[in-house]
Chains A and B, each alone.
Chain A
Amino acid sequence: MNCLFILRQSPYHGSLAREALDMALAFAAFDENVQLLFLDDGIFQLLKDQDSSALVIKNIAKSLAAVEIYDINEIYVAEECLKRRGLRTDDLSIAAQAVDTRIIQALIADADKVVNL
């Protein structure tokens, strides 16, 4: 089954970003084909060099580094959202493919299940 997770939350605003990612990892643990699409402020989850040492907060970048172990290979970022934030794919901690709206629409249309958080 193709499960597309659309991750739209910034990493440290409440727990939604972390819970959505945990859900995606759980799906992948059950051998579902998981695709991650980072949209809007969700893109900020992917920024390099997130340093949580001064605060009592769990670093989301560490969980993201685990996606490879879970065999999640399809990671997409919305090109337009990157550009608007003055970011490039080089600024991201994991390899992700920049996609335009047309491809995003195709990803949604081709998915068996979509989780939008």
Chain B
Amino acid sequence: MQLHIINQSPYQKSVFSQAIKVAAAQDAILLVDDGVYALTGDYLQQIKQHPAQWLAINEHLALRGLKPEPGAAKLIDFDAFVSLSMKAQHCLSWY
């Protein structure tokens, strides 16, 4: 399992689209910082269609006033982020 980390808004940068092309079905994709904006609009549909496990930092969603529809991504805290990064073979940060 690889952990892909996206920290930029998909509306501003193309890393979201680039990362999900590379992410495999058994990988995890974690949305942090402005990356959580991917849980809106058309990008939400792309997330639903992608077989990887989707996660997002709950505090970063709350800060931005986002309430994604349930099930779109698993909401985790910073401790779970650390555990997840230990479990993954590689952590790939997309810039």
Does A pair with B? yes
Residues of A that sit less than 8 Å from B by CB: 10-13, 40-41, 44, 47-55, 57, 59, 61, 84-87, 93
Interface-centre pick from B8, B12, B42 (highest chain A CB count, 10 A): B12
Given contacts A10-B9, A10-B37, A44-B37, A84 and B62 within 8 Å (CB-CB) = no
User: CA–CA, A103 to B67, complex, Å?
Assistant: 31
List 17 A-B residue pairs with CB atoms under 8 Å apart, sorted by A's residue number.
A10-B9, A10-B37, A10-B64, A11-B64, A13-B9, A13-B34, A44-B37, A47-B64, A47-B65, A49-B65, A49-B67, A50-B64, A52-B63, A54-B62, A59-B63, A84-B11, A87-B41
Residue B27 lies at the interface, judged by CB distance under 8 Å to chain A: no
The residues of B that contact A85 with a CB separation of less than 8 Å are 11, 37, 40-41
Instruction: Determine whether the beta carbon of A41 is less than 8 Å from that of B59.
Output: no
Indicate with 1 or 0, residue by residue over B7-27, a CB within 8 angstroms of chain A CB atoms: 011011000000000000000
Given contacts A13-B33, A54-B59, 9 further A-B contacts (CB under 8 A): A11-B64, A13-B9, A47-B64, A47-B65, A49-B65, A50-B64, A50-B65, A51-B65, A86-B41
Residue B92 lies at the interface, judged by CB distance under 8 Å to chain A: no
Given contacts A47-B65, A86-B44, A10 and B59 within 8 Å (CB-CB) = no
User: CA–CA, A100 to B11, complex, Å?
Assistant: 18
The minimal Cβ–Cβ distance linking B72 to chain A, given in whole angstroms, is 12
Query: How many pairs of A and B residues are in contact by the CB < 8 Å rule?
Result: 61
The minimal Cβ–Cβ distance linking A104 to chain B, given in whole angstroms, is 17
Q: Which single member of A51, A84, A86, A93 contacts B63 (CB below 8 Å)?
A: A51
The residues of B that contact A48 with a CB separation of less than 8 Å are 65
The residues of B that contact A55 with a CB separation of less than 8 Å are 59, 63
User: CA–CA, A54 to B63, complex, Å?
Assistant: 8
